[in-house]
Structure 1
Amino acid sequence: MTFEIEWHSQQGTRTANNRDHAGIGVRGDKLLAIVLDGSTRGPTSGQFAEKIARQMVNWFVASVDETTAETMAEQLRVAHAALAKDFQSVSASYALLYSEATRPVVVLHAGDCLVGRADNGQTTWLLQPHTLANALASVPIDILAREPSRHVLTRSFRSKHFMAPDLSFIELDDRPLLVATDGFWADIDADGQTAFVNGDRLPDGDEQDDRSVLSISRIKSDGGITVAGDQAAPNLYVRIA
């Protein structure tokens, strides 16, 4: 068993640059993936997200130790300490995943990047975002997507102070996992999401957020982990040990 990974990202109209970023680290048959969404507030939030992605991937590829939820959380703290002095009043949402083909996926997330399971054109979202709209109780994602208060985040990766992420474990099966920013899960309907995952560019809107999705599929193969899609995208960082 191994993995096939695809990255698709499209800049929106709310900022001058695409603030969604992804990082992929490959170490043998082990995979670390992170998807981030830099806040629309603060001119350097996109750069902040990119730096976080690179820090996490570089750590994973260079490490010889076992990767656990604890070591991942600790490295997020290390990345925060390294970056906080260079970035002021910026933030990013993220979902950080560690996977081996025969074990549950370890997921750490803070903010409104989500992980879901794709199945015949429909996506079942497996996490709840950290927003004001669902701060007191879980809300179905299709309803949450229409709530204006979902744009107020109760947790994220913030330069001012570190906020601990939520921890989840997701069982792998033969259906792809999707790791997405809110411009994908909240702003695109099911048909549009399917088209986007398949590599189609969607029409630009007047008030469109950046939209990005990382697809991770477990496949039966003796080959190594493969990365497809927008490999040359400037907002994708890939390193293979």
Structure 2
Amino acid sequence: MGIIIAWHSTQGPHTEDNRDCCGIGIQDEAALCVLFDGSSSGLDSGSFARAATRRLVDWFVGEQGVTADKIIERLRDIRRELAASFRKDSASVMIALFDRRGAAHLIHAGDCLAGLRYGATAISWRVAPHTLANAVRDIAIEEIAVSPLRNRITRSFRTSGFMAPDVTGFAFEPDSDLILATDGFWALLSAERQIEFLGRGAARDTEHLDDCSALVLRIDEEMPDQVQGNDTCNLYFVNASG
């Protein structure tokens, strides 16, 4: 039973580096997929996001019996380890921990999203972002996307202090893809252009976009583990399954 992973990322015009990055760790029975979106306001938030990604993946592939609680504790440690080097940097984070049978947890803080897609249909988002737009009441993702308050993040992974992420349990449904996405994808692309982006692996009209990224995950009973990505600088992959 294989885990099929595809990473699609396009840099936007607002920073000198693409601050969206992903990390993938695969064990015999489980996998960890990490998506970090470094803040555009921090001086070096892209490097901060990439450093945190590598530390989390390296820890995962050497750890047995990983749970959502253990991941949160490891995030606490990583924040302390990186605080001296990245004093004012932050990132949104979305983490998917799942086994090869499809049981999964989502761990997130910030404005990255996760959802399921069936074939070429629109994505059904399973969590809500932590933004000022939906801080008081729950509103549809489509409303958050067009709100001027959505860029005010109410929770994130930052060196100035630890903010506990949310944890959501769920299961892969048959014939579905799990999508982890940054706000450049879910907020700035229409549903039609999201499908196009996942097919092309790049966005059109990038001068009007933020960094735009999506990580696509599928469990396939007949295929071996596979990882593909169009931005290898921001893709960190470790397979410890042998």
Report the TM-score range of the alignment, normalised by the length of the smaller protein.
Answer: over 0.9
Alignment of 1:178-217 (within 5 A): 178-217=179-218
The answer to whether the 8 A contact 1:18-1:210 is kept is yes
Unaligned stretches of 5+ in structure 2?
none
CA distance in 2, matches of 1:229, 1:46: 18
SS at match of 1:93: strand
Q: 1:61 — aligned with what? A: 61
Q: 1: distance between equivalents of 2:192 and 2:96?
A: 26
Q: 1:166 matched to which residue of 2?
A: 166
Q: Given the two structures, how large is their TM-score scaled by the length of structure 2?
A: 0.94
Which of structure 1's runs of 4+ aligned residues deviate more than 3 A? none
Distance 1:92 1:34 in 2: 12
Deviation track 1:126-178 (CA, whole Å, cap 9, x = no partner) reads: 00000000001111001110001010000000110011000101211221000
- 196-205 vs 86-95, greater mean Cα deviation: 196-205
Following superposition, the deviation at residue 103 of structure 1 comes to 4.2
CA contact (8 A) 1:23 1:237 kept: yes
- In the superposition, the TM-score normalised over structure 1's length comes to 0.95
Residue by residue, what CA displacement relative to the aligned partner does 1:71-114 show, whole Å, maximum 9, x if unpaired?
11111111111111110111000001111122421111000011
Give CA deviations for 1:11-63 in whole Å, capped at 9, x if unaligned: 00111110000000011231101001000102200000001100110001111
CA distance in 1, matches of 2:68, 2:161: 20
Identical aligned residues as a percent: 38
Contact 1:29 1:225 in 2 (8 A): no
Letter in 2 for 1:81: R
Q: Secondary structure at the match of 2:80?
A: helix
Within 1, Cα distance between the matches of 2:234 and 2:226?
18
Query: 1:227 deviation in Å?
Result: 0.7
Q: How many residues align?
A: 238
Give 1:23-172 correspondences, 5 Å limit: 23-63=23-63, 65-119=64-118, 120-172=120-172
Secondary structure of 2:232's match?
A: coil
Whole-Å Cα distance in 2 between the matches of residues 152 and 53 of structure 1? Answer: 23
Residue type at the aligned position of 2:52: I
Superposition pairs of residues 201-240 of structure 1, within 5 angstroms? 201-221=202-222, 223-230=223-230, 233-240=232-239
CA distance in 2, matches of 1:226, 1:170: 23
Give the aligned residue type for 2:25. Answer: G
Asked if the contact 2:43/2:88 (under 8 Å) is kept, the reply is no
Counterparts in 2 of 1:53 and 1:200: CA distance versus 1, 3 Å: closer
CA distance in 1, matches of 2:36, 2:206: 22
Q: Which amino acid letter does the alignment assign opposite residue 108 of structure 1?
A: I
Amino acid at match of 1:31: A
2: distance between equivalents of 1:154 and 1:143? 17
Name stretches of at least 5 consecutive residues in structure 1 with no aligned partner: none
